Structure 1
Amino acid sequence: MASFFRSPVVRVANRIMTATRDIPVVGGLIRRNLVVIRYHGRRSGTTYETPVNFRRSGDRIVIGVMAADSKQWWRNFTGDGGPITLLDLDGRDRTGHAVATRGDGGVRVTVQLDS
Structure 2
Amino acid sequence: MQISGVFQSVARGVNRGATALITSPRWGRFVGLGLTTITYAGRRSGRTVTLPVGYRRKGSDIVIGVAMPDGKKWWRNFTGEGGPLSILLAGSERPAHAVATRDSRGRVTVTVRLDA
Task: Name the TM tier (shorter chain).
Answer: 0.7 to 0.9
TM-score computed with the length of structure 2 as normaliser: 0.87
Q: Which amino acid aligns with 1:84?
A: L
* Paired position in structure 1 for 2:92: 92
TM-score computed with the length of structure 1 as normaliser: 0.88
Runs of 4+ in 1 over 2 A off after TM superposition: 2-6
**Deviation readout 1:17-61 (Å, 9 max, x if unpaired):** 11112162x432210111110011111111101000000134310
Change (3 A) 1:64 1:77: same
Q: Which amino acid aligns with 2:19?
A: T
Segment drifting more, 46-55 vs 27-36: 27-36
* Paired position in structure 2 for 1:36: 37
- How far off its partner does 1:5 sit? 8.1
**Deviation readout 1:55-112 (Å, 9 max, x if unpaired):** 013431000000000000000000000001013x122110111000000360000001
CA distance in 2, matches of 1:112, 1:20: 24
CA distance in 2, matches of 1:99, 1:111: 7
CA distance in 2, matches of 1:5, 1:90: 33
CA distance in 2, matches of 1:71, 1:5: 15
Identity of aligned residues (%): 50
Q: Which amino acid aligns with 1:34?
A: L
* Paired position in structure 2 for 1:57: 58
